[in-house]
Structure 1
Amino acid sequence: MSQLTHRVGVALWGIPLLVIVVLIGGGLFALFLAVVCCLAANEFYRLSESSGAAVSIGIVCAGLLPLVMHFRPDWSLYFLALGILVIALTLPSHRLENLLGRFSSAAGGIVYPSLLLSFLVLIRDGAWEKHYYGGMVLIYILTAIWICDTAAYFGGRAFGKRKLAPVVSPNKTWEGAIFGIIGALFWAVIAGQVLKPVLTVPQCVIGALIVGTVGQLGDLAESALKRSAGVKDTGNILGPHGGVLDRFDSLAAVAPVFFFYFKALGMV
């Protein structure tokens, strides 16, 4: 089976599953995100070569945070602080060597990507006029990211000349990044027509700019982590698509930005 065929096969079951979970929302979406955050945190700890009890605590906290965000959002900050505190108290009991670095890595597994991705729960559970509106908005964001990535890839291959970040990601170019933004903007115009009861075209365009800039920066940040760890992918759980972090890096970056954007609009 070729890599392309394998990629399509994963997408054929993965995309419908994601769409169904997002549209249903509620506890199911929070549970789905909890699994994603556990897997992503585990990949993050492998990248940082972390181990021990603090890592186990970090993975558990990373998985519980989206659930707390859904069932008791007012407890979220306290839960996050408690998780980091427990990690801080656990680390010195093993060894003092590189304590600050180990603490940063262990706490980082909760903050990135779990805290960032958990903002999706707040968006999905927002004060939308109808329950499914939150799901439609998330699908708009997910599609914008996919179109941006696809346009950036093919635009970069066809016209890419100037390297965007040669040390971090040698294959990415300025031309590809611009094509990514254009692709996201094109999608925003279409999505704005469909989402008229929820978002206007100008609001979708601003969302496209968030995806085209912050999303691509999030992708670069994850590439920097992989480059520093000397790996190509964060994992292989998704086959040719790589690891969970590889698929959710841009989404983790844009999730909090979209939350505060929608908060400013009075939608969540």
Structure 2
Amino acid sequence: MKQRITTGIIAGALFLGFCLLGGPWYHGLVLVMALIGYYEFVKMTGLPPFSGAALIGYAGVFALVFPWEMLWDHRPLTLFQVGWLVMLVLMAASVVTKNRISVNTVAMLFLGVVYVGVGFYYIAESRHLPNGLFWTFLLLGSIWSSDAGAYFVGKLIGKNKLWPSISPNKTVEGALGGIAIAIVTSLVFAWASDGLLTWERAIFIGLAAAVVGQMGDLIQSAYKRIYNIKDSGNLLPGHGGILDRCDSWIVVFPFVHILMLLPY
């Protein structure tokens, strides 16, 4: 527990420090996290993490997350265009190698590019919005408070298992507690925002951060259970890997952007 707390404090302070700096410092950190996350995803699925096919995936993640707008006025390719090109190259690799790179391998590598690349793209882009520091802290605060609320409420009064076949320690009571605390946290941000965030939108953002964030946690747990592993990596002692710590982030950040819950 002591190692877990120490690692959490150091990693959290480092990430928040880069977030406060913003610009290329923050975006560069997120890009590195994305590439490490994709490495963990590939390794977790049992595929060679530096095979030729995997390198195509790394290139896709890099193209999605790299801060092109800091070099040019706009991205050379949209997210959709990058995704389609990565899909084409991976499928072509299957043909060229006469199916030594199987369709199943192609599908898994492509899934990882979208899952990791798009998730970290929106984590980085949220900081670049007008009032981006506020929006980033709002989402992180809502996610973290949901996690903490689910844990402590579950420990205190949790009796009914939420999804025992995937995550045996999670409870329905904990999940509901996490949702309530995330909404309260988002409302606190609305109160402190001086009109930037309305109460109604704050409720939707808190609800989305909690529900979608908990689903992101369950998705990662399901993958790890399928491949019979405890953690996606060991970069963060006591916490696992990047995907273990960011499993909620990489689904919540895209979700709130796609549903246009952030007023920008």
Question: Is there any run of 5+ residues in structure 1 with no aligned partner, and where?
Answer: none
Is structure 2 residue 67 aligned with structure 1 residue 64?
no
CA distance in 2, matches of 1:259, 1:69: 19
Q: SS state of the match for residue 252, structure 2?
A: helix
Question: Is there any run of 5+ residues in structure 2 with no aligned partner, and where?
Answer: none
Which residue does the alignment assign to 2:249? 251
Letter in 2 for 1:243: G
Q: CA RMSD in A?
A: 2.0
Which residue does the alignment assign to 2:75? 73
Q: TM-score, normalised by structure 1?
A: 0.89
**Structure 2 CA distance for partners of 1:95 and 1:231, relative to 1, 3 Å:** farther
Q: SS state of the match for residue 169, structure 2?
A: strand
The structure in which a higher percent of residues are helix is 1
Superposed displacement of residue 70, structure 1? 4.4
Letter in 2 for 1:38: L
CA distance in 2, matches of 1:237, 1:46: 13
Which residue does the alignment assign to 2:207? 209
Is structure 2 residue 30 aligned with structure 1 residue 42?
no
Comparing 34-43 and 187-196, the one that deviates more? 187-196
Contact 1:145/1:250, CA 8 A, preserved across alignment: yes
Q: 1:7-63: per-residue Cα shift (whole Å, max 9, x none)?
A: 222222222221222233222222111111111111111121122211122123213
CA distance in 2, matches of 1:32, 1:213: 27
Q: 1:199-236: per-residue Cα shift (whole Å, max 9, x none)?
A: 12322221100011111111111110011010111111
**Structure 2 CA distance for partners of 1:175 and 1:264, relative to 1, 3 Å:** closer
Which residue does the alignment assign to 1:109? 112
Q: SS state of the match for residue 153, structure 2?
A: helix
Superposed displacement of residue 85, structure 1? 2.0
Which residue does the alignment assign to 1:15? 12
CA distance in 2, matches of 1:181, 1:104: 33
**Structure 2 CA distance for partners of 1:24 and 1:256, relative to 1, 3 Å:** same
Superposed displacement of residue 74, structure 1? 5.5
Which residue does the alignment assign to 2:221? 223
Alignment of 1:1-268 (within 5 A): 4-51=1-48, 52-68=51-67, 70-71=69-70, 72-73=74-75, 75-77=77-79, 78-94=81-97, 96=99, 99-126=102-129, 128=130, 133-261=131-259, 263=260, 266-267=263-264
CA distance in 2, matches of 1:117, 1:99: 27
Contact 1:122/1:259, CA 8 A, preserved across alignment: no
Letter in 2 for 1:112: Y
Letter in 2 for 1:75: L
Superposed displacement of residue 97, structure 1? 5.7
CA distance in 2, matches of 1:251, 1:236: 19
**Structure 2 CA distance for partners of 1:264 and 1:186, relative to 1, 3 Å:** closer
Q: TM-score, normalised by structure 2?
A: 0.90
